[in-house]
Amino acid sequence: MKATIKRVYAAADKTDGTRILIDRLWPRGLSKEAAQVDVWLKDIAPSTALRKWFAHDPKKMDAFTKKYILELEQNPGPVNELKQHMKKGKVTLLYGAKDATCNHALVLQSFL
């Protein structure tokens, strides 16, 4: 089953299935009640160093993708945990980035 992605600030929907936050940091200005997150999988997010280097710069997206995939391959625990949720049913990966075309959720979705 494929995971869908959605900005965490978008309204929750009953078709989301299990809502999994994949950011290392909690989204600014968003309460836990409003986010309606079922699972917070911090360790699947890019490392702090990689996130800061990337800074959502579209020119760095290709290099970021390669580096993030390498991190995912070297840290299979969170990936396996996410795959277990996916086996149980529909999963929506939640991210906080403003740019819907340049973020780690897209990389993670294609990696899965």
All structural domains of the chain with their residue ranges: 4-111
Distance CA 23, CA 35 (A): 13
Q: Which of 22, 82, 20, 79 is nearest to 51 (CA)?
A: 22
The model carries a pTM of 0.94
The two three-digit tokens of residue 53, written as one number: 């280097």
The answer to whether residues 45 and 75 touch, using CB atoms and an 8 Å cutoff, is no
What tens digit of pLDDT does each residue of 40-99 get?
999 999 999 999 999 999 999 999 999 999 999 999 999 999 999 999 999 999 999 999
Supply the pLDDT for residue 2.
82
**CA-CA-CA-CA dihedral for 87, 50, 62, 108, to nearest 10:** 10
